[in-house]
Structure 1
């Protein structure tokens, strides 16, 4: 939920309010409860499977139910809680957190904050599941996937006087990238090829993000859709 917090300001200065949009801190504990319930369900499922003459996973179920009580129940409940708790902390670490103030916007993911001064941001918009920040020259300052509703994000930005759009005004300017696409700056095609390989790897998220930023330095802005890469260059907003 969006909450109001006080930013650090010099002594005697008027404190600036900050609106935060982020995953609630109780997520790990909620998932721990769900995990505990899942562990309890696994116990009863295993006990049911061993009563059947033939069933998938009957072998593992027999191994599991061979553990004496109360260790079977305790072990499954603890394991479910731990898995749920870890999953929740991973979500808090990996999900986007948005902090909006009258003088700046901060986007944080995996403890890596990116700060944008008020004068840089012409508009914020929602594009599919992405939050997009657009600069005063039409450049794409940031594009971050997030699960927050457009209404929550819009409220955070408009509360502090930022322009908000329900859709990326430059969505129609994106073109699909294919190898050796004409019109790209020198070096951009090689970065796209490297990024395509990174997107195909399960551990390539950080590499894809880094290459995204490299392309932005060349004035090329990227939009992903169903493992496909789309690109545009700066188009003035007229702001």
Structure 2
């Protein structure tokens, strides 16, 4: 599968959406894992040395995005910031907005998916399934645009399970375009159309949240153009 690789540390620095003394927000490219797997290989963490900006240690991941998901990724710049970010994410206080292109068209204009998720098979890595005995998982969605056989959906995950949007979308009969796990996309088909469009982080008490927005990656922008969809900016506080 094609990807936006290779990246240099300078390339990664050019993808910064926000930088302050506590955290960085990156526009993660699709096709690059955030950390090395068991077999190693290129990954974002290997480039974090170029994002110190004068601090003695590399920044670290405050959360995760799938290898093939693009968009807003938050890094903590030191231990105290990471601890704060960890609490914000675990308490559901970080606002996350995802854009996806799905196969099909929902009957309603918006909805809420409440379907517990658990790991489906110990032999398939992070392959999730709806399971009444799984962890509570909630995703809200609304239609942004419709087209011939495809729809543009905005997803707001209220919990942070692995593959939550992908599994929930397939569960309601709207698998993501290019999803080989939950959408049965054949090898060599379109790339995954899932983008972490915006994030809102209430990092400082008594201050407005930090809001960042990531532009669409090329493969999703091409689909939008072909469908005649306009990616208008997210409304921010």
Q: Which has the larger radius of gyration?
A: 1
Indicate the structure whose relative CO is greater, using CA pairs within 8 Å and at least 6 residues apart. 2
**Higher helix fraction: Structure 1 or Structure 2?**
1
Normalising by structure 1, we get a TM-score of 0.24
Normalising by structure 2, we get a TM-score of 0.24
